[in-house]
Amino acid sequence: MRKYINYFVLLLICSAFTTASYYPIDGYLHTGIKRLKYLELVKSGELKSTTVIPPGAQKSYMDIELNLLSKKEDSVGAFLKVDEQFQKDINSLFRGLDKSYSIAVLDISDIDSVRFAKRNETAGYQPGSVGKLAVMVALFDQLEKLYPDSFEKRLELLRSKSVKSGVWGLTDAHTVPIFNLETNKLLKRQVIASDVFTLFEWADHMLSVSNNGAASIVWREALLMAAFGESYPTLTQEQADTYFTTTPKKELTDLANDVVNLPLRELGITTDEWRLGSFFTSGPNRYVGDKGGSIGSPVGLMKFLIKLEQGNVVDEASSLEMKRLMYMTDRRIRYAQSPALKPAAVYFKSGSLYKCDRSTGEACGKYMGNVTNYMNSVAIIEHPDNCKYMVVLMTNVLRKNSATDHMTLASSVDKIIKR
């Protein structure tokens, strides 16, 4: 018995950004996300806070643009042709390192002369919370199906439709920010079953603090949009609950899988390059099963970033709104913590998953797994001097917190691109 007690596997999916916030600070009126009102009051000095907002995090809602609109019709392959000198420079960063490090870098500072470099770009990694970007795509894909002729109606549904957590949002350690507009008090706590937020706020919780429960809820709502179509906007909690309790699990599993993965296939991203196979919390397991496993690769995520900047993820308006949701407006850690990026706007998602086997007595801990130790960073960097580039860095370095590696590599990549 002692042998079994001493042997266990710790498995945890968590995001790089447990304290970061996204979306332009002045976006409250546009989205109704109350957290943004708090940041707006902090920035104006009306509320005191220890929050430090980096210079690059202070872009406004209207400042954010898509960088490759003039190349909207170009194939993704046109951007993925290696520049020999750039490749040599990027290779130099990984001398002496094994294939636990994979990267894809695309310099779009001059969109008529882009530079691409790669390393182990097709290697598959457990994407962790980077997979939440696929959930974001699924949400906007289903919104477009509901209102193909009106982006404003899609936004209005995001602002006005409130949904309850239930068991879908439980068991995640990540807290969510809850700002009271009447008292100007900010509370951070874990999601509880009775929590009700708008679709926009759940999407923000999914990305800004990488809340796993919020990701499961957003995925759930995209699934319901697919199932109920034009009836979804008036769908009641009781109707949704009945649907999940009376629909065969296989049917729900297949639909859930299609909702998040088919939009990626439409972008030309293959199933081996990026897919999601399971929800982010255990609550949905009573209704929806796992299917196909989850995987991500630098080339798959880079294809997504290119399509996003072209305005080709769902459509141009949706691509821009998704990019706003990826915009960091608070404390930066890991890759984004690089001092070189302080003046830059950073559109980012990170994720990690580690697995520990302590049966041998080997040291193992948070972000330092000895079985697997994935850490992934997806970034669009925009400096004020028009230096712009995209990076996907994925690592699986055992027994080591790779946060410093990611930060150091961010500085080195930035230096190479700025030469």
Q: What is the chain's mean pLDDT, rounded?
A: 91
Per-residue DSSP letter, 265? H
Spell out the residues 6+ positions from residue 325 whose beta carbon is closer than 8 angstroms to its own. 22, 23, 136, 203, 204, 207
Residue holding tokens 């009781």? 238
**pLDDT of res. 330:** 66
Q: What is the SS3 assignment for 295? A: strand
**pLDDT of res. 6:** 38
List of E strands, 250-371:
274-275, 295-296, 345-357
pTM higher than 0.85, yes or no? Answer: yes
4 pLDDT more than 70? no
Average pLDDT over residues 112-124: 97
For the chain, give the number of residues: 419
| Predicted confidence band of residue 140 (pLDDT cuts 50, 70, 90) | very high
- Here the tokens at position 108 are 């779009």
12 pLDDT more than 60? no
Give, in order, the Cα–Cα distances in Å from 301 to each of 143, 218, 241, 277, 296: 22, 20, 34, 16, 7
221 pLDDT more than 60? yes
- Strand (E) or helix (H) holding 274: strand 274-275
Give the integer Cα–Cα distance in Å for 140 and 317.
Answer: 10
Per-residue DSSP letter, 83? P
